[in-house]
Structure 1
Amino acid sequence: MTDNTPSPTRRFTALDVFRGITIFLMILVNTAGPGAPAFPQLVHAKWIGFTLADAIFPSFLFAMGNAMSFALRKRVDTAPYVLRLVRRAAVIFVLGYLMYWFPFVQHGADGWTWKPFALTRVPGVLQRLALCYLAAGLLVRWLSVRQILAVGAVLLLGYWAILVGLSAPGMAFDKYGNVGTHLDLWLLGPGHLYKKDAGFDPEGLLGTLPAIVNVLGGYLAGLAVQRGADLARTTRRMALYGLALVGAGLAWSPWFPIAKKLWTGSYVLLTLGIDCLALAAIIAVIELAGRREGTRFFLILGRNPLAIYLFSELFVTVLNLIPTPEGGVYDWVGKALFQSLAPGAVGSLLCALAYTMVCWAVGWAMDRKGLILRA
């Protein structure tokens, strides 16, 4: 008979598998093969709307909250706890900035010169992770579960009120007219924002407030797994909460539209619900049914997510610095090889899969040597 009562020190394989799946999908979406449009579900919604790609970043935040709940099982004094929290957040933020600045130099009419700081993006994926990690780490240190839930509600409703109340009339959900975009432009200027959206940044400062709730949700899910007297019952409750959150997000969407780039409250509830359902399903298969076949593939990604994500973003940049008749090396491989093998979205997907497997191989090599990048 299987004992479903979790031990206070046990780390669930399912949580690392969840994180590994998230990293796998993140690389797959971020490095779609060139030469043809990717499948629509692997491309972020242009503004209002939702695709599979839109579920990935909040899942990374949710996984961060999961990991935080396990890391805090051992009590640490306040001063070293805060110092470590701030240091890790700072390192992740700086890594994110350096990732956008990379390769640091550019070639022009005057030869090689430094890429100007004034044109380097400041917000970004890792930067948002860092800010959410810092805020959530401070909140969960001193708040009870009920207080965390209350803070989550305040963040979502407060963000809604700020957008509606401080944006110009009718501009609350406009990409360039909402108050968050104006705040980013005022604080950072267009040179430091996302270049592809011409003055709008999908990881802007104001949108970080509701994103904190995704981390808090992951923390509470991890806490439930640890504290539940019976894992099967906890898993069923997690699935029910997931369904309720999905329903709540859809019900809120007529007034607060689902939009990943704006990180709306309805989007937060929807993605939290999806993550609860996904985590419950993974726990049911791995922990309750005891099916461990194939888990190592995702564990390799889940144990070293920061290193593998950084490699995936930097290596594709390096490949495209090497000139070919079709552009960079990655562009050439995607067009000349994969588009000739399978034209269209299938070829784009195969190219992304091949690159994702290269990143997995790097993770496998690091795992064999016990190399883990910790901020």
Structure 2
Amino acid sequence: METKAENKRLESLDALRGFDMFFITGGATLIAAIAALFPDSSVWQAIAAQMEHVPWDGLVHHDTIFPLFLFIAGISFPFSLQKQQERGKSMTSIYLKILRRGLILVFLGLVVSGFLKFEFETLRWPSVLGRIGLAWMFAAFIFTATGKKLWPKVAVIPVILIGYWLVSAFVHAPGVDPSIDPLTREGNIACYIDRTLLGVHCYREDYDPEGLLSTLPAICTAMLGMLTGLFIQRSKATSRTALTLFVAGVVSALLGAGWNTFYPINKALWSSSFVLAVAGYSLIMFALFYYIIDVRGWKKWDLYFKVIGMNSILIYMAPRFIDFSKLNRRLFEGVYSLLPEQYYDVAETLGYMLVLWLFMYFMYKKKVFLKV
């Protein structure tokens, strides 16, 4: 039976969001620990290498986690906007809600960075949540302000990406030897702006991976998600819809790979080639989850991911304030001591993930969700 996407919750989004968060809630550590059991296996070592960020240029799986989350946040917005419009909310009310959500995420990012310690002299200002808040907020403003017109929503993407490429690749940082590549930390204008305006408030000494100028192309990541959500909203939940998403993902990934030949894929700079490459990955993953869960209706397997995905902000913040590692050791250290030493890291990581998931499952059953 075919159903309109807007008439029901996109359960695939919750599962995909949970799958994405799985890797930063112990999944990546677990895979690396398993790989350590097979030091002579080139396959396992290659898999383990995907669980850490590349130092600068390049792309591994771990680099896709953040943009996929932002992309998913974008997909949700057209549905949220439609609900508000159907309830008769004024445009002023809608804009204020967008602003409130964006600023709350920025504030939560500051809290994660240690805002409540009141050590403002060294507090890191940019953050993952802050970038999500700002990029999503500006994309939502553009999406809403352009009404039902599709072309300005689409046009803003190449304008930003090409403009950012020209500035990033051809404008040297002031005071730097012109022979230095502008796509290096020392020569890049985005890194220079972070060093100059943020100073000690950067994550790193010479730049911040969630810095000021590099937030601009992140708006495109959110907007691409919103356009995907708009497409789903206007389509029926069919195999054809899923296939269209998949093909679009392949095309986007190929465009990113092509651009990479002269403008490197770089997560730290959120390069335009990175935007297209990870948008391709995001579309492909969403197409698969959408097909399996929303088209075919195969949902019984997704509880683990759904519990995480429906409370993603909470699971991101909770380990910063609750010592789940200590609780894990209190509960299972006796069990771990019975195991051969080489299996300790795997067992301890599994225990940590279990404790964290059970906490999230309790929240899920009590319908306690941290929403912003």
Q: TM class by shorter-chain length?
A: 0.7 to 0.9
1:172 matched to 2:144? The reply is: no
Superposed CA RMSD: 2.8
1:73 matched to 2:71? The reply is: no
Aligned equivalent of 1:27: 25
**1:176/1:200 contact within 8 Å kept:** no
Which structure 1 residue ranges, 5 or more long, are not aligned? 105-114, 323-328
Match 1:116 to one of 115, 119, 124: 119
1:260-298 CA-partner distances (Å, limit 9, x unpaired): 111111111111001111111111111222211221211
Match 1:275 to one of 271, 278, 282: 282
1:319-373 CA-partner distances (Å, limit 9, x unpaired): 68x9xxxxxx98xx99x969x8564xx8656544443333222211111111111
Aligned equivalent of 1:240: 247
1:101 matched to 2:114? The reply is: yes
User: How many Å separate the matches in 2 of 1:167 and 1:354?
Assistant: 49
User: How many Å separate the matches in 2 of 1:232 and 1:181?
Assistant: 44
Aligned equivalent of 2:49: 40
Distance 1:181 1:222, change over 3 A: same
Distance 1:8 1:160, change over 3 A: same
**2:325/2:352 contact within 8 Å kept:** no
**1:18/1:279 contact within 8 Å kept:** yes
Aligned equivalent of 2:213: 206
Aligned equivalent of 1:18: 16
User: How many Å separate the matches in 1 of 2:271 and 2:340?
Assistant: 40
User: How many Å separate the matches in 2 of 1:373 and 1:59?
Assistant: 20
* TM-fit CA distance, 1:259: 1.1
**2:336/2:347 contact within 8 Å kept:** no
Amino acid at match of 2:58: G
Write the mapping of 1:1-375 to structure 2, written as runs, cut at 5 A. Answer: 3-28=1-26, 39-74=48-83, 75=85, 76-101=89-114, 104=117, 116-143=119-146, 144-168=149-173, 169=178, 170-189=180-199, 191-194=200-203, 197-229=204-236, 231-315=238-322, 341=340, 343=342, 351-375=348-372
Amino acid at match of 2:4: P
**1:159/1:210 contact within 8 Å kept:** yes
Amino acid at match of 2:194: D
* TM-fit CA distance, 1:229: 4.0
> After alignment, is 220-229 or 203-212 more displaced?
220-229
Percent of counterpart pairs with the same letter? 29
- In the alignment of these two chains, the number of paired residues is 345
Aligned equivalent of 1:326: none
1:191-226 CA-partner distances (Å, limit 9, x unpaired): 2111xx322211111111111111111111111112
- Structure 2 length as normaliser, TM-score? 0.85
User: How many Å separate the matches in 2 of 1:349 and 1:256?
Assistant: 39
- Structure 1 length as normaliser, TM-score? 0.84
User: How many Å separate the matches in 1 of 2:56 and 2:344?
Assistant: 26
Distance 1:134 1:250, change over 3 A: same
Secondary structure of residue in 2 paired with 1:188? helix
Q: More relative contact order in 1 or in 2 (CA 8 Å, sep 6+)?
A: 1
User: How many Å separate the matches in 2 of 1:267 and 1:352?
Assistant: 31
